[in-house]
Chains A and B, each alone.
Chain A
Amino acid sequence: MAFPMLMSNLDRSQRTPTAPYTWRQYVFFVIMAGLGLVVLPFLAGVATGHWELFARNRMPSQQGTVECLHVFWEAWTQIEQQFFAPTPLDPQGMTRGAVNGMLASLNDPYTLFVEPSQHRLETDRLEGQFGGIGVSLDITDKQVVVDRVHADSPAEQAGVQVGDVLLSVYGMDLDGLSADEVVLLIRGPVGSMVQLRVRRGDQEELDLVMIRQQIEVPSLAWQLMPDGIGYIYIYRFTARTGAEFSAALRLLGPSNVRALVLDLRGNGGGLVDGAVQVLGHLIGHGIAYRELSKEGETRYAIPFEADAIDWPLAVLVDGASASAAEIVASALQDYGRGILFGEPTSGKGSMQGIFLLSDGSSLHVTTARWLSPHGHPIQGVGVQPDIVISAVENKADADLVLQRAIDHLHHQAEAHVTAYIM
């Protein structure tokens, strides 16, 4: 069969030796042109398109690829395809779980994931102010009871009373909400309205309407003690601490005060800026702390304050004084600016940045270690008081630590005056 075909082919080409192309050659030419012009570019297009998509997907959200993460996606796929769940899978929960697990692998207790609602409360706390109505609530699983109504607050003006049981906020039932959720529901932008339904006594239910005001949470308290000793107790360092500290010094009255007790016991830290500003009022120059980060060592200056006080200073610390409180204590000690009384401090020598994520949650990430101005490490060591007084010695009713500090300042102040006269 094949042989005769070949023969006839030879025959025809021999019959028209002068024609430029035979019809078979035309067919061949057209096919080749089709291949060259259509099929090959098409296939090249398919391949390029395919590769382009592949390459793009290997680079999720343009944030670079991580080779080993394909194992994570294998796991994710297996869970999606196989896991028997009583309720539908929650990809957001799984994503947050993955973030939590990834952070846990770093073995740093201070690097953690913060849910959106927690982040809002934390911001309020660090700012030291928020839009609210001025009540303290006692929140249990069963009910939300007004514990305290602050003077001149929107709540007081609207007639909220201690003991009122909160039933709903804006018609929204409080059953099943966590304490944080209840608090966040009541807080909101300054100037906005909030409607509360409360139960008073046995039967009476009242609807109360009020406008949220700026509620300021003081970060410190102060007091003028006998014999010209000023006392300032800083609970935590917030965005307001610098201004509050300055106001406290002014109100204590430079003419009345001979010496100052700075109480940092139980102060777990807060915003580093607040701590640095306090150092500005107490020292007024120099380095607040040294920071070791990925960029190397950075020295942070104490803001220059021409009228920084020079009163003799005693600083009270304990095992719960941490972080920003340790910055203040260690700087005052390094510069010989004050005598530290109490117990060794907590030893949290790391700093965290707060990074907001796109869904409103946030991360606390340890971004640096810090050292005292003279380079003493704090992490795991803490600050050693000059005069150690253990918690066992220090009976709560007597406050031996404060007493020792005051005795010391009396002595100092006398020496100071004597020196001055001479």
Chain B
Amino acid sequence: MSNWQKWLTITLLAGIIGCTAFAMGFGMGRHIFPSSPSAVVRVQQEQQEQFQVFWEAWRVIQDEFYTDKPLDQEAMMHGAIRGMVASLGDQHTVFLLPTQAGLFREDLQGQFGGIGVTVSRTEDGLLRVMKPIAGSPADKAGLQSGDLILEVDGKPVQQMDLLQAISLIRGPEGTEVRLLIRRAVDGQGSDLLLRRAAIDVPTTESRMLDDRIAYLAVYECNARAPGEVRDQLRQLLAQQPQALVLDLRGNPGGYLYVATEIASEFISNGLILYERGKDGQEIRHEARPGGVATDLPLAVLVDKGSASAAEIIAGAIQDNERGVLVGEPTYGKGSVQTTERLSDGSALQITIRRWYTPAGRQIQDHGLTPDIEVKATGLDVATDHDPQLERAVSYLLSLQSR
């Protein structure tokens, strides 16, 4: 073998070995290693075929849609998420635009610019005023419980979801918002211009009623609620009450852990609720020991506006026979949501589990039925008359005289 033949052989061998190694590495890189650190790419691969139709539609719009303004791809993408989420048919699984997600966070922190009113959705898609905060812009403008909001800044609320409507009503402190409302009292329409103010989410309120009956209202199960409830209960207990009315009317809920915390103030031991997720696994939430009002006779006021975390508290009290529920059937939200932030600041609120009362009741769509049913009428609201509270008090007094 001459020298050049030797070198040629070596070079060829080296080339073959190198190429083989490269090919093996290429195959390895494609198949054995995870395709990407982000789940995003993996999903695209799996869903690509099923999702073909979306790409076709996207392409048609890019190529063919005639409009005066340039296409807003971000709005199209947000629309696609909203439509995808809507197809799930679960009203509690919702997409929040970055601004809405921001408002949502503000809300749980307990302060924002707004008009100072709690609202709920009616069956025909309007907003019902639940509870104007004393001294708030809504209160000053004469809004009352039961009034219906039809339009916000000229936009009909029926065409938006609840969060959109709320985010329209809220806004920076000092700015104005126009509401078209229908009064509960006389059914008259009215156009109101309100100046937004800083609203502290009122979380609790307490006082002593006649006959040494203590009264504690919890308006929202936000992060501040457990501490406030405990403080208020201590102050009330110092005045030696013979019984307690816990008012959960209009309480739309909040954090699940807050519900177990508050329920634990009244229930010394036992189950508060349990959850069941998609894997069928049960998560049990027991009462935390050390509650401050576990013996006091108790009546709980509930209505259609008591939802979610408020229903957890009421359901635990009812099933543990710790007290009676007085008022109207509750809202009926038996699911648990998590909020997931997406990378552009928008967020998804996703139903992840169902929850059940200690006795295993699923309250979705049914709500809790009060032990003592007392309806409140628009007239009661207008005349500042509270038959539900009166009935709760008379029930508690009857316990005492027995």
Residue of A50, A74, A77, A101 near B33 (CB, 8 A) is: A50
Residue of A73, A361, A365 near B64 (CB, 8 A) is: A365
Residues of A within 8 A of B350 (CB): 78-79, 82-83
Stretch at the interface among A92-100, A186-194, A222-230, A380-388: A92-100
Judged by a CB distance under 8 angstroms, whether B188 is at the interface is no
Judged by a CB distance under 8 angstroms, whether B227 is at the interface is no
Q: How many residues of A contact B (CB 8 A)?
A: 80
CB pair B80–A101 under 8 Å, yes or no, is yes
Q: A45-B29, A97-B83 are in contact. Are A75 and B95 (CB under 8 A)?
A: yes
Judged by a CB distance under 8 angstroms, whether A138 is at the interface is no
CB distance from B122 to the nearest CB of A (A): 23
Residue of A78, A89, A358 near B348 (CB, 8 A) is: A78
CB pair A361–B53 under 8 Å, yes or no, is yes
CB distance from B49 to the nearest CB of A (A): 9
Residue of A57, A60, A103 near B79 (CB, 8 A) is: A103
Interface residues of B in 45-102 (CB under 8 A from A): 45, 47-48, 50-61, 64-67, 72-88, 90, 93, 95
Q: A75-B95, A84-B277, A358-B56 are in contact. Are A37 and B14 (CB under 8 A)?
A: yes
Judged by a CB distance under 8 angstroms, whether B35 is at the interface is yes
Residues of B within 8 A of A367 (CB): 64-66
Q: Once bound together, how far apart are the Cα atoms of A274 and B382, in whole Å?
A: 63
Judged by a CB distance under 8 angstroms, whether B40 is at the interface is yes
Kindly report which residue of chain B lies nearest to residue A43, judged by CB atoms. Answer: B25
Residues of B within 8 A of A38 (CB): 17-18, 21
Judged by a CB distance under 8 angstroms, whether A136 is at the interface is no
Judged by a CB distance under 8 angstroms, whether B288 is at the interface is no
Q: Once bound together, how far apart are the Cα atoms of A53 and B60, in whole Å?
A: 27
Judged by a CB distance under 8 angstroms, whether A69 is at the interface is yes
A-side binding surface: helix, strand, loop or mixed?
helix
CB pair A45–B78 under 8 Å, yes or no, is no
CB pair A93–B340 under 8 Å, yes or no, is no
Q: Once bound together, how far apart are the Cα atoms of A93 and B338, in whole Å?
A: 23
Interface flags for A60-72 (1: CB within 8 Å of B; 0: not) read: 1101001011111
Residues of B within 8 A of A366 (CB): 65-67
Q: Once bound together, how far apart are the Cα atoms of A146 and B36, in whole Å?
A: 60
Stretch at the interface among B161-169, B241-249, B257-265, B351-359: B351-359
Residues of A within 8 A of B35 (CB): 50, 53-54, 57
Residues of B within 8 A of A96 (CB): 53, 87
Interface centre among B64, B335, B338, by most A CB within 10 Å?
B64
Judged by a CB distance under 8 angstroms, whether A355 is at the interface is yes
Judged by a CB distance under 8 angstroms, whether A41 is at the interface is yes
A-B interface contact total, Cβ < 8 Å: 264
Q: A41-B19, A104-B83 are in contact. Are A369 and B66 (CB under 8 A)?
A: yes
CB pair B40–A74 under 8 Å, yes or no, is yes
Judged by a CB distance under 8 angstroms, whether B402 is at the interface is no
Q: A42-B22, A47-B29, A85-B278 are in contact. Are A99 and B348 (CB under 8 A)?
A: no
Residues of B within 8 A of A82 (CB): 338, 340, 350, 352
CB pair B66–A44 under 8 Å, yes or no, is no
Q: Once bound together, how far apart are the Cα atoms of A103 and B344, in whole Å?
A: 21
CB pair A84–B348 under 8 Å, yes or no, is no
Residues of B within 8 A of A36 (CB): 14, 18
Q: Once bound together, how far apart are the Cα atoms of A358 and B60, in whole Å?
A: 12
Kindly report which residue of chain A lies nearest to residue B336, judged by CB atoms. Answer: A84
CB pair A83–B53 under 8 Å, yes or no, is no
Q: Once bound together, how far apart are the Cα atoms of A97 and B43, in whole Å?
A: 18
B-side binding surface: helix, strand, loop or mixed?
helix
Residues of B within 8 A of A359 (CB): 52-53
Q: Once bound together, how far apart are the Cα atoms of A368 and B342, in whole Å?
A: 36
Kindly report which residue of chain B lies nearest to residue A34, judged by CB atoms. Answer: B17
CB pair A98–B84 under 8 Å, yes or no, is yes
Residues of B within 8 A of A100 (CB): 83, 86-87
Q: A63-B58, A84-B352, A85-B278 are in contact. Are A71 and B83 (CB under 8 A)?
A: no
Q: Once bound together, how far apart are the Cα atoms of A15 and B344, in whole Å?
A: 70
CB distance from B339 to the nearest CB of A (A): 10
CB pair B56–A60 under 8 Å, yes or no, is no
Q: Once bound together, how far apart are the Cα atoms of A44 and B18, in whole Å?
A: 10
Q: Once bound together, how far apart are the Cα atoms of A180 and B73, in whole Å?
A: 34
Residues of B within 8 A of A43 (CB): 25
Residues of A within 8 A of B79 (CB): 101-106
Q: Once bound together, how far apart are the Cα atoms of A359 and B53, in whole Å?
A: 7
Judged by a CB distance under 8 angstroms, whether B343 is at the interface is yes
Kindly report which residue of chain A lies nearest to residue B72, judged by CB atoms. Answer: A105
Q: Once bound together, how far apart are the Cα atoms of A95 and B353, in whole Å?
A: 24
CB pair A73–B26 under 8 Å, yes or no, is no
Judged by a CB distance under 8 angstroms, whether B398 is at the interface is no
CB pair B83–A84 under 8 Å, yes or no, is no
Q: A45-B28, A68-B74 are in contact. Are A102 and B58 (CB under 8 A)?
A: yes
Kindly report which residue of chain B lies nearest to residue A360, judged by CB atoms. Answer: B53
Residues of A within 8 A of B354 (CB): 84
CB distance from B91 to the nearest CB of A (A): 13
Q: Once bound together, how far apart are the Cα atoms of A85 and B352, in whole Å?
A: 8
CB pair A46–B278 under 8 Å, yes or no, is no
Interface flags for A18-55 (1: CB within 8 Å of B; 0: not) read: 00000000000000010011111111111111111110
Interface flags for A264-292 (1: CB within 8 Å of B; 0: not) read: 00000000000000000000000000001
CB pair A63–B55 under 8 Å, yes or no, is yes
Interface flags for A291-306 (1: CB within 8 Å of B; 0: not) read: 0111000000000000
Residues of A within 8 A of B22 (CB): 41-42, 44-45, 48
19 additional contacts, CB 8 Å, given A38-B21, A41-B25, A45-B26? Answer: A36-B18, A42-B25, A47-B25, A47-B29, A50-B35, A63-B59, A73-B39, A75-B85, A96-B53, A97-B84, A97-B88, A101-B79, A101-B84, A102-B76, A102-B83, A105-B79, A105-B82, A108-B65, A369-B66
A-B contact pairs, 7 of them (CB 8 A): A46-B25, A48-B29, A69-B77, A71-B342, A94-B87, A363-B57, A365-B60
